[in-house]
Structure 1
Amino acid sequence: MPAFYWIKKILFIMNRKLLFLERFIYGDGTIPKNITFTVKMRGTITWNNLRQALAKVQAKHPVLAAGVVEDGTGVPWFVTPAAVMPVPIRVAERYTDDDWLAVSEEECARPFDMRNGPLMRFVWLRGANISDLMLVCHHCICDGASIVTVMRELLLLLDQPDAEIGSYNSFNSIRDVVPVEVLTNAGVRFRGKLVSLLLRIFLFFAASAKPIKWGRSYFVRWQLSQEETAMLTERCRQEEVTVHAALCVVFLCAFRQVKGHQAGRKVFCPVNLRRYIPAIQPDMLLGFATSTTLTMDANPELPLFEKIRRLNARLTNQLEHMDVYGKLATCEYQHPLANRLERFFSNAKGNHDLTFSNMGRLDIPKYYDLFEVDTVHNPILIFKSANPNGIIASTFNEQLSFSLLSNDAYLPEEEAVAIKDAAMELLFKELMELAAIQAAIQGS
């Protein structure tokens, strides 16, 4: 490897304690909590270009050179080892368009060397003129936005090996992320200690909860056409609501239709911290997010878009008044409870129907000089923790794609398919009404 990369690794050494949200994802380090992200490309790449591109990406992001080391008290730290290992590359032959699915399941279940790192690896499913390129990251270093960033940088370097992708120093502690006046605020400190105490009491009484007998994890995938995607976007624009709010309500209605009164009308939505915290740059890797929980109106007589408008208003209000710094500061008091919380959530059913993560329009070009990105598959993560019902949405090449991920212990696959069908039937009903109106206007 060129000396340039070793110099950068020396300059950007990591040695910091995991923030609580990172530590909660890390757990005790023994359970794989991996994310895979795959693109299908047409064209050719070379081993040397791939190796060089991965080296430059690893050199940019300090956490990609680090492992996780626990100190004498069991507290985990991100630490750059004396001998930094390059990102491992696994090459396999590509035979069908579905090969990546089986490989993704394997990679989700395959643990990392947490102590020595790196906590990212790469799989190249190689065909004659078509390849699937798969990134695999541990979730404690990488959220959805992070893994898209890495893939975008990697594709750029495969096409233009001399391109510059920059560099940065990662934050060293919670004090680099949350202002000191928040961390030292008496009210924040009191709330942090109180929440920690209440959690400790709750976990004491919840310790006897019956373990869940986990079943088979699975994922259901589908997408809208470019025309359908455009129609949904236009309808939401006309109704002055976000696509995110519309999809939340559509999926909650579908859960209600399939699960009946077992459905809770609540959706859990991760929120990208980068929009709130200047210290976290847009291209910086991190493995955690804040969140918001939204509840759909129960009145069955309300029209669909009235439900969407009400949920959209709640979402807007929550995002505008979200106390991100206070949340992060309060969470730091929960470090002693991290392992007990993880054990609890491994058996908790939760009071929400699903987690909905809308990645939006992916910042990945379709066309390059040397190749073309044919398909971008939504990230896959298989966690046996808390309620695993999750839907991921993203838009690439003007097409909205969905993945529903769950486990038979929580949601049988046939019910997941029924929820997908019910959601799309409801969505298309609204789209067809819009299409009929537009056709009538054009015909008049």
Structure 2
Amino acid sequence: MSRLERLFFMRPVYTIIMAARITGAVDTIRFRQAIDAASLMHPLLRAKVVFDERHEAWFSSDGVPPVPLRIIPRKSETQWLDEMKEEARVPFDIGREPLIRFVLLQSPEVSDLLILCNHSICDGMALANLIRDLFTLYENPAKEVRVLDPLDILDIVKPGVSLQGLIARFFVGLGNRKWRRNPYYFGAEEYAALYRGFWAKRKPGLVLLEFDQDESARLLAICRSHGITVGSAVSAACLAAHTDITGGFSKKQQTIMVPFDLRRRLDPPIGNVFCFCDSGARFPFVYSPGRPFWDNAKDLHREIHSRVEVLDPSCLDIPVFEPSFIDALTAFAPYVNKIPEAYTHTDIMQRFIRDTGNVVISFNRNSEKDFPGFIPSNVGRIDVPESPDGIRLDRLIFLPGFCESGPLSIGGAGAGGRTVFSMPFVDCMAMLGSSPGPELIRIRNRALEYLGFPEKMSDREME
């Protein structure tokens, strides 16, 4: 596991989800075979995590059972959402089982597929490509499977040297020396305790911007008339709506992080490998309420594409932390004050929460201030040919993790002629008596107005 993958390994909000709607009768035996074949094609689908004496994490397929697939009867249009909300609260058994699992809600006419995956082994495009592979393998059970070995993107993309990077390395070096004198080694038991503790009084939430086939075509035509993409327009609409509803981000969070897929940006391209293969373009941007919406949208589009079209690996310039330091910094330090009850479950967690002078606490305090305000992720359109049996990918919903409090995040995907953007969030109603859901619904509705679809406004999270 690279240090980039490890950044997303243990945090309880970094479960990436794809929800696919399939029309036609799904043969569950063939579907199980397709998953098994995909597991041969993509080794990380059948990997658990083991730690060595330095607490380096390694992916291993030794003695790992098949990828979990739970099949249940599909009873309603919204059942998939309830299943997703419950499944997302369940940690992976990282030391024994794969870091991915499937749920198929099956009926003779329509089925809903949920794929939940630990972010350390995937990104949005990895899951989108996996959907395509599953359909191909389902349709062609005898197809020869070619293994696509995962890679460490940090071995291929080499960030340049910068003053900011050198300063970061200096402070990380100091932190590593202090950490080595008093390290904490978090494993599978601690991960599960943190995960369950976080979700004990919280639930995943989701607000959707959905466009059917006619609406998607109309939205595309509008965006083309302005010379921008649908993704840029929706991102600008969400920013405009957020500014109207909340007054905008704080000065420290007036930045955008746009993740982008590296698979086809490398020379030569590396193919549809299943692994974490994202970089990101980060830049300051403030929506200007005094200017027309489409002028703002064009500015955002130009800014995004000027940075994404040129491979900028600066976001991959990750200092060499001690491996266990990364776990503490990204997963365990952020929740010391939020869910202290979770730290009573193991001796390591008890000692860690009592050690208020540990170096990782100050590191975390500084890193949280630097989080971007808006993260738009878009996997684009996924084309899956319809099979002779009539099985068809009708809709795809991408959830790029769950935002806790500050930042705004959206995930976009297109399939079957439909376009869907998700706005995932953490619902703290049971704990705080309030939920971000109603505010995000208002933001979604205002964004629809900006895009020219006021008739789609609703007080519900999804249609």
Q: TM-score, normalised by structure 1?
A: 0.78
Q: Is the 8 A contact 2:73 2:107 kept in 1?
A: yes
What is the distance in 2 between the residues matched to 1:66 and 1:75?
Answer: 15
- Counterpart of 1:221 (choices 185, 204, 208) is 208
Q: Is the 8 A contact 1:40 1:133 kept in 2?
A: yes
- Asked whether 1:302 is paired with 2:322, we answer no
Match of residue 421 from structure 1: 445
- Asked whether 1:283 is paired with 2:309, we answer no
Equivalent runs, 1:25-424 vs 2, <5 Å: 25-27=8-10, 31=12, 33-81=14-62, 83-171=63-151, 174-175=154-155, 177-178=156-157, 182=158, 187=161, 192-198=165-171, 215-262=202-249, 265-278=254-267, 281-324=270-313, 327-328=315-316, 330-336=317-323, 337-342=325-330, 343=332, 348=368, 352-365=372-385, 367-373=386-392, 375-380=394-399, 382-383=401-402, 387=406, 389-408=408-427, 412-424=436-448
Match of residue 3 from structure 2: 20
What is the distance in 2 between the residues matched to 1:225 and 1:172?
Answer: 38
Q: Which amino acid aligns with 1:290?
A: S
- C-alpha distance 216-123 of structure 1, shift in aligned 2 (>3 A): closer
Deviates more, 1:374-383 or 1:97-106: 374-383
What is the distance in 2 between the residues matched to 1:32 and 1:200?
Answer: 28
Q: Is the 8 A contact 1:388 1:406 kept in 2?
A: no
Q: TM-score, normalised by structure 2?
A: 0.75
After TM superposition, give the deviation of residue 165 of structure 1 in Å: 4.7
After TM superposition, give the deviation of residue 142 of structure 1 in Å: 1.4
Unaligned runs of 5+ in 2: 179-197, 339-367, 429-433, 456-463
**1:59-97 CA distance string (max 9 Å, x none):** 01111122111111112111221x342112212121111
Deviates more, 1:309-318 or 1:332-341: 332-341
What is the distance in 2 between the residues matched to 1:421 and 1:309?
Answer: 21
* RMSD of equivalent CA atoms: 3.3
Q: Is the 8 A contact 2:104 2:112 kept in 1?
A: yes
| 3-state SS of 1:110 partner | coil
Q: How many residues align?
A: 395
After TM superposition, give the deviation of residue 57 of structure 1 in Å: 0.5
- C-alpha distance 376-265 of structure 1, shift in aligned 2 (>3 A): same
Q: Is the 8 A contact 1:221 1:402 kept in 2?
A: yes
Q: Is the 8 A contact 1:350 1:386 kept in 2?
A: no
- Percentage of pairs with the same residue: 24
Q: Which amino acid aligns with 1:196?
A: R
Match of residue 209 from structure 1: none
Q: Is the 8 A contact 2:2 2:152 kept in 1?
A: no
Unaligned runs of 5+ in 1: 1-17, 205-211, 432-444
Q: Is the 8 A contact 1:36 1:107 kept in 2?
A: no
- C-alpha distance 199-261 of structure 1, shift in aligned 2 (>3 A): farther
After TM superposition, give the deviation of residue 430 of structure 1 in Å: 10
After TM superposition, give the deviation of residue 118 of structure 1 in Å: 1.9
